[in-house]
Structure 1
Amino acid sequence: MSLPLPAGEFAAYLFDCDGTIVDSMPLHYIAWQRALDEWGCEFPEDLFYAWGGRPAADIIVALNERHGLTMPVATVDERRESYYQEQLPQLAAVPEVLAHIHAAHRRVPFAVVSGGTRASVTASLDALGLLDRFDVLVCADDYTRAKPDPEAFLLAAEQLGVPPGSCLVFEDTDLGIRAATAAGMASVRVPQPRDRSEV
């Protein structure tokens, strides 16, 4: 499968990380299940993908409300991240996105714009030998309003010194696409793992 880009010339590429650069969503789901099992909390796979792009803390709060639980947010999040890090040796890149990274590297600047923590994003990119490809990392701790708010994408454009309208965003979630649109940026949708074979 190839990933066609919108028409036009772009001065910068902005990439979400999980599910876009790195094929990490199945591993993240396993980590979520292991962490939540300790609290007897169910998290169906379709809901996990529907909530893609939401900060982990928000997801834990929402699951507490949904199931009438009082899981400690910070503890569950730390457990989830620990289980994810254990799986990093299994991590792979999304081939169609990796092809665009290789093709455009050094031709246009790159930024990662992620709802994940800097530690998690750095670990994922480092595991794949891709960390040095990116000029800017904008992670969860760098902004206050999560996707679909455009704040994170606008911050990345500012740090790259590129007008928002000249940026192309690679995203795998509805929240991310909405954030890119709100920022005035063109975007390309990266299919989720279970959809790629159908494209």
Structure 2
Amino acid sequence: MKKLEIDPKAKGLIFDLDGTLADTMPVHFVAYQNILGKYGIDYSAKMFLALAGVPAVETIEKINEVYGTSLNAEEVGHEKEAEYERMMHEMKPIEPVIDLLKRYHGKLPIAVGTGGYNRLAWKTLEIIGLKDYIEILVSANDVQNSKPHPETFLRCAEQMGVAPADCQVFEDGEPGMIAARKAGMIATLVTDYYDVFKA
């Protein structure tokens, strides 16, 4: 497998969290299946992957649209997050991406831009041993518009003090890749560098 490298033009690095630094996707998927199954919804891996990086409440809103259901998005979204938290110790670190982050720690500004919620994002960083490496974290709690809107990554750039064009984003999901490109950043898909969760 090829080695993950930074772009020579990059002056700041932004990492997505779920599926990029932490292999949480299988855990998130099972949490969604457990909760949605109670409401009679057979949630497919294909749809789950299409919504990678979208916060839980918005995911439930999308599920209502697709499945013609009327779940309380706020309630079910938080139910799913609670189920995920119960299982999150099962996640694994994604070594090639973490190695890259550690290599540039202290050399370039680094931020994490996630569609997850703040408290769980910090807990994830703790589980994978990165809590002390990250100072800037922009989560779903900090933005009005989640990915594929560029707001998450633009806020990261702003907090790092780096122009968007000089930021390299590492992502695993299509919404995040779109957000990085809309922000005018260098977008790098990390799923070429490890065995990924598949539909």
TM-score, scaled to structure 1:
0.92
Report Cα offsets for 1:98-148 as digits up to 9, x if no partner.
Answer: 110121111112111011110121111111221121120100111111212
Q: Identity rate of aligned residues, in percent?
A: 34
- Name 1:24's counterpart in structure 2: 24
TM-score, scaled to structure 2:
0.92
- Name 1:115's counterpart in structure 2: 115
Q: What stretches of structure 2 of length at least 5 have no aligned partner?
A: none
- Name 2:170's counterpart in structure 1: 170
* Bigger mean CA deviation after superposition, 4-13 or 133-142: 4-13
- Mapped to 1, the partners of 2:84 and 2:33 lie a distance apart of 11
Q: Do residues 69 (structure 1) and 51 (structure 2) align?
A: no
- Name 1:103's counterpart in structure 2: 103
- Mapped to 2, the partners of 1:101 and 1:58 lie a distance apart of 29
Q: CA deviation at 1:5?
A: 3.2
RMSD of aligned residue pairs (Cα, Å): 2.1
- Mapped to 2, the partners of 1:53 and 1:25 lie a distance apart of 10
Matched ranges for 1:47-58 at <5 A: 47-58=47-58
**Contact map agreement 1:19 1:192 (CA 8 A) in 2:** no
- Name 1:79's counterpart in structure 2: 79
- Name 2:133's counterpart in structure 1: 133
* Bigger mean CA deviation after superposition, 61-70 or 140-149: 61-70
Q: CA deviation at 1:13?
A: 0.7
1:181 counterpart letter in structure 2: R
Distance 1:187 1:65, change over 3 A: closer
- Mapped to 2, the partners of 1:137 and 1:22 lie a distance apart of 15
- Mapped to 1, the partners of 2:196 and 2:34 lie a distance apart of 26
**Contact map agreement 1:5 1:188 (CA 8 A) in 2:** no
- Secondary structure, aligned partner of 2:147: coil
